[in-house]
Amino acid sequence: MGFCTLAASVLLFAGCASVPPGTTSPATTTTPGATTSKASPAPSVFPDAPLSEIGVASTNLPAVVTLAAPTDLWDRIRRGFAMTDLDNELVRDREQWYATRPDYIQRMTERSSRYLFHIVEEIERRNMPMELALLPFIESAFNPQAVSSARAAGMWQFMPATGQSFDLKQNIFRDDRRDVLASTRAALDYLQQLHGRFGDWHLALAAYNWGQGNVNRAITRNQRAGLPTGYLDLSMPMETRMYVPKLQAVKNILARPEAFNTTLPLIGNHPFFDTVTLERDMDVAVIAQLAGVSEKDFRALNPSLNRPVVMAAGTPNILLPWDNAVVFQQNLQTFSGPLASWTAWVVPTTMTAAQAAARVGMSEAELREVNNIPPRMRVRAGSSLLVPRSQTRNGDVPLHVADNGHLSLQPEVTLRRSSVRARKGDTLSRLASRYGVSAVSVAGWNRLAINARLKPGQRITLMLPQRSAVASSRSAKKSVKVATRKKAVQKAGTRTAKARTPSKRAVTKVAASKKN
């Protein structure tokens, strides 16, 4: 408030207070018809009494909060940290592990630069702790193509069943567990759900890694035993026990990189990619050409696509580097060539790969390669195959095929369950090679990880072609017959030798007769 305004207020207040009770001020209006007398002069505003000294009052105002935008994305992430810190020996151990691997941190953080801004935006929009933006560092080192031995896939490492429950499509044309936008949405939905259930972010993270049912049972066990139920109090596998310490260690390093002798790559606080909507099916090669990017860079932003064509019905949105998205839109308007050279064909009846290839006018080798059809397998009716466009098959792939396309196979020969024993030094790959089957199939038949170690003598189940099994059986029977025949021959030879060799008694008789 200005000095003049303050003085005016004081004068007004003082004037009102100077009117004696029961008297009328000069400004007072009289009753209509009454006689008005001359008003007496108003008393002085400033009395003759001395004024009090001006004092200095102290104020405790809150500090001024800066509104400056974060200088880079790391700064923005640091400002959003909101979880309770974990501080124990496991955290120190993980800090040491990461700090002694600067090349690994460099690769991991550089890879994250494509996706991190979008994740940060989504976390802020949901008002969630920014530590969650660092979770893909722990899950996959920010590699959207990562696949675990337990078949978890993508940056956020969704298991197939969990992915399906969060509407992540998984078919022969795409795997949304690897999709940047879809998997991030599903992961944050899942984490919010887990936090709502357990009321604690550390327990929510444990459930994300171990499964909410396992965490719930561990909590119940501690409650029955009268024990605390915090993250550090529960009995859990070592992988889950180390899960939050890993995240805390990465958080500490990113919060104070200089303390760990670490240099973070600069990531600008702006979008890396833009979303482009497709109205027609398009080959990946055509998209890359029109956008001015390499196919490798395109697939790095669209890792869910595992075929050479993008189906607009199933994947209407693609991601392109920010500036290249504008280039793509401009070039698409003037492009006059064919947009797609591939389409999907639903197999009408069960047939061999050679028969299917002849139907669609391509070589058997190319059909097998494009659709990942292994040897000695027939394609069942209802399967969706990627085939070249032709005059009879020239339309875009419909939604029900793009979203639910599957490949169903059956062996060309009947398989028979067999059990074999692993030898010393055997691996699944070595054992599979010995019997002419796929290591992935052997892992599936025995519910083992592809890199599982085998103990000598361990029984392994194999599904071998009936012909091979019959041949093995015949070979075994033949071996038995040969062995039996050998034994018979040996026995017969022994008898003949005995018959030809004179007995002691006969030799004695002959000797006696010679003497006589």
Nearest by Cα to 157 from 96, 243, 264, 276? 243
Task: Say if CB 185 and CB 122 are below 8 A apart.
Answer: yes
Active site residue 139: yes
Distance CA 284, CA 296 (A): 10
Distance CA 201, CA 192 (A): 9
Sequence-separated (6 or more) residues with CB below 8 Å from residue 411: 376, 377, 378, 465
CA atoms within 13 A on the CB side of 310: 26
CA angle 432, 368, 170 (to 5 degrees): 85
Question: Of 121, 139, 258, 412, which is the active-site residue?
Answer: 139
Amino acid letter for position 338: P
Distance CA 171, CA 179 (A): 13
Which runs of E-coded beta strand occur in 340-486? Answer: 342-346, 351-352, 377-379, 384-388, 409-411, 415-421, 459-465
In 3-state terms the chain splits into helix, strand, coil percentages (rounded to 5) of: 50, 10, 40
Amino acid letter for position 49: A
Please name every residue paired with 275 in a beta bridge, in sequence order, or none if there are none. Answer: 319
Query: Residue 447: what are its φ and ψ, rounded to 5°?
Result: 55, 50
Please name every residue paired with 277 in a beta bridge, in sequence order, or none if there are none. Answer: 317
Q: What is the DSSP letter of 65?
A: P
CA-based radius of gyration for the chain: 42
- Looking at the annotation, which residues are catalytic? 139
